[in-house]
């Protein structure tokens, strides 16, 4: 089963020593009273809930799974009770608007909570995670009436939420969806259709489930320009906020999956279910993108959570398991063999896990802080710049971190050897759970295409230049520090290479757009590494200043050196792949496959 210990020291290092979060938040009127003690107290309590309540349910929930019977879904033992503890402690309302019963705390603090609960139990965390995305979409685009009716219940966690996009014939290409919405002459619509792969679509953890459903109005334009968004509750609310009669949306079945067994992945049938329009007619994707982008950031946090938990348990096992002698001489003469942590290849896998976890932590915490600026800054220019940076980096968070997570969970199995392949040790579950993170909320190939085609080439590199300027300023400010050379020089080098590669692909794309598709996945790996290199250089700078005071900082520097020496160099191969272009992909005729 293993264990989970919240990495509070590293979280506090990133928040306070790298990001200076207290001063940043105090510069935003909405969070002017935030201080380090409050931040630390919140994350310490969140860590206790994650490790003491959620983690013990992770393996048993995976083995038991969700059960479906005649439209009713039952979650594994302990899940409903854990959710009630979560609600009673006020965790769902942490960063929600105070006007709707929320606590109004920063998104960056909520983000730390989600790292820990994802480490402890990713499948359970999807229930409140999706609810928060539904809250965000409705908060941004709902009418005052809808917000007053639903947001307090979502903020409190009394009701949960879902996103209903995918249909049997239509996945990523939402322009093909067929679900219909018929106006009823008042402000309601009857919605008919079938949605599949709906995470948390039906369960027994909350008294009501609020579905955000994409559908078409009569006479709507074809494609994505004819999609509207509707709120469809499982139970119709009464005027006093209690649940009323059952709506005509039911769970036809649950999927039997490779992983995340304890989250119900549902087929949802709408048979004239009543719904209400969210946002403008035929502009549903604009409203749903609030939810989708929140979900993509959330999936990145799933990747971080899985990377951290698999690292912790791999490290613990490697420190305990003895196997063979060290090639450089006996390290434990009092034992029959040496601990496997002495072997270079085991260290390679452990350090890869650690470097990707700690790099992702700094990256995602910084992006969450940009979201706080976007939402709360009084400086319009600062809000706009923060919004551009979040938009640029969201596909990297989703794709780069989850690709790394799958690699790292596989390393976890490998460190355990044969025991890693055995269910009772718990490591193989992390591989299965990690695999879906590369698929849902837009496959990682789609994220790479979004990054290169839309976020970078789509605005002639304007957003990318903003992040590039952040990197360039850091390199210039620290370039004369001899101790920083081993970090600053490769950072500056990869930044220049990304700029050149981007221009080269952009020129090719002017004559053949398939060049973007051919280059996008390796390009995303290169840019992801540039981003990680920047944050690792920032962490190394802080650690160098305090290296002599604490082994924590020595370990941070050792991990930074590993990242720059062993992981960043993979960009050389990916740059060559991106430059190879579309020719070798196009040469193969369809009939030859």
CA distances 365 to 16, 110, 399, Å, are 11, 10, 16
Given a contact cutoff of 8 angstroms between Cβ atoms, the answer to whether 229 and 279 are in contact is yes
d(CA 146, CA 130): 18
CA distances 244 to 157, 196, 236, 247, 458, Å, are 18, 26, 5, 9, 47
44 is a catalytic site residue? no
Q: Which residue matches tokens 């005071």?
A: 549
Q: Which residue matches tokens 């944050």?
A: 535
321 Cβ neighbours under 8 A, 6+ residues apart = 339, 340
Q: What is the 3-state secondary structure (H, E, C) of 192-229?
A: EEEEEEEECCCCCCCCEEEEEEEEECCCCCCHHHHEEE
d(CA 567, CA 571): 8
Give the number of other CB atoms < 10 A from CB of residue 479: 14
Question: Residue 212 — φ and ψ, nearest 5°?
Answer: -100, 115
d(CA 132, CA 293): 12
Q: Which one is catalytic: 167, 374, 428, 441?
A: 441
83-89, long-range: CB < 8 A, 24+ apart: 83/124, 83/127, 83/128, 83/157, 83/205, 83/206, 85/49, 85/53, 86/49, 86/53, 86/128, 86/157, 87/156, 87/157, 87/158, 89/45, 89/49
R_g (Cα) of the chain, nearest Å: 24
d(CA 404, CA 119): 15
Given a contact cutoff of 8 angstroms between Cβ atoms, the answer to whether 467 and 540 are in contact is no
509-517, long-range: CB < 8 A, 24+ apart: 509/457, 512/582, 514/582, 514/585, 514/586, 515/581, 515/582, 516/449, 516/452, 516/453, 516/457, 517/449, 517/453, 517/582
Given a contact cutoff of 8 angstroms between Cβ atoms, the answer to whether 254 and 265 are in contact is yes
CA distances 19 to 27, 50, 542, 588, Å, are 13, 24, 10, 49
d(CA 195, CA 178): 10
Quote the DSSP letter at residue 277.
Answer: E
Which residues form the catalytic set?
441
């Amino acid at each position: 089963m293993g264990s989970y210990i919240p990495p509070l020291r590293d979280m506090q290092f990133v928040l306070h020593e790298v990001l200076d979060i207290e001063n940043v938040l105090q510069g935003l009127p909405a969070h002017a009273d935030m201080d380090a003690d409050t931040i630390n107290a919140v994350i310490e309590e969140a860590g206790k809930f994650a490790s003491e309540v959620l983690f013990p349910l992770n393996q048993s929930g995976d083995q038991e799974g969700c059960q479906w019977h005649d439209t009713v879904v039952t979650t594994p033992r302990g899940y409903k009770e854990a959710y009630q503890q979560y609600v009673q402690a006020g965790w769902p309302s942490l960063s929600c608007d105070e006007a709707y019963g929320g606590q109004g705390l920063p998104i960056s603090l909520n983000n730390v909570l989600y790292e820990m609960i994802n480490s402890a139990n990713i499948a359970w965390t999807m229930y409140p995670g999706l609810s928060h995305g539904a809250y965000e979409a409705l908060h941004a685009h709902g009418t005052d009436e809808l917000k007053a009716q639903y947001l307090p219940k979502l903020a409190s966690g009394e009701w949960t939420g879902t996103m209903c996009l995918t249909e049997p014939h239509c996945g990523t290409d939402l322009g093909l969806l067929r679900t219909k919405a018929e106006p009823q002459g008042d402000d309601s619509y009857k919605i008919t259709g079938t949605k599949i792969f709906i995470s948390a679509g039906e369960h027994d953890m909350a008294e009501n489930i609020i579905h955000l459903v994409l559908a078409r109005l009569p006479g709507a334009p074809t494609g994505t320009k004819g999609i509207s968004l509707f709120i469809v509750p499982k139970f119709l609310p009464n005027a006093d906020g209690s649940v009323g009669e059952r709506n005509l949306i039911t769970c036809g079945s649950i999927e039997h999956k490779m992983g995340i067994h304890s989250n119900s992945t549902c087929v949802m049938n709408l048979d004239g279910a009543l719904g209400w329009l969210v946002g403008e007619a035929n502009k549903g994707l604009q409203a749903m993108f609030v939810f989708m982008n929140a979900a993509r950031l959330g999936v990145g946090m799933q990747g971080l959570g899985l990377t951290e938990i698999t690292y912790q348990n791999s490290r613990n096992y490697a420190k305990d398991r003895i196997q063979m002698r060290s090639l450089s001489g006996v390290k434990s003469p009092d034992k029959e063999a040496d601990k496997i942590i002495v072997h270079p290849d085991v260290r390679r896998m452990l350090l890869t896990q650690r470097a990707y976890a700690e790099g992702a932590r700094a990256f995602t915490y910084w992006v969450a802080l940009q979201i706080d600026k976007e939402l709360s800054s009084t400086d319009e220019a600062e809000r706009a710049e923060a919004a551009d940076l979040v938009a640029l980096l969201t596909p990297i968070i989703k794709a780069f971190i989850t690709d790394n997570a799958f690699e790292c969970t596989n390393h976890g199995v490998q460190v355990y050897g044969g025991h890693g392949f055995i269910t009772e040790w718990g490591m193989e579950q992390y591989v299965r759970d990690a695999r879906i993170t590369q698929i849902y909320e837009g496959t990682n190939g789609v994220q790479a295409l979004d990054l290169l085609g839309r976020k970078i080439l789509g605005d002639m590199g304007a957003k990318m230049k903003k992040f590039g300027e952040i990197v360039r300023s850091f390199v210039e400010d620290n370039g004369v520090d001899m101790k920083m050379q081993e970090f600053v020089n490769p950072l500056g080098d990869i930044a220049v290479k990304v700029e050149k590669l981007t221009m080269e692909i952009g020129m090719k794309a002017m004559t053949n757009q398939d060049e973007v598709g051919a280059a996008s996945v390796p390009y995303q790996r290169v840019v992801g590494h540039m981003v990680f290199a920047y944050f690792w250089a920032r962490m190394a700078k802080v650690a160098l200043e305090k290296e002599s005071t604490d082994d924590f900082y020595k370990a941070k520097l050792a991990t930074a050196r590993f990242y720059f020496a062993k992981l960043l160099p993979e960009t050389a191969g990916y740059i060559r792949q991106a430059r190879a272009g579309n020719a070798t992909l196009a040469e193969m005729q369809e009939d030859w496959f």
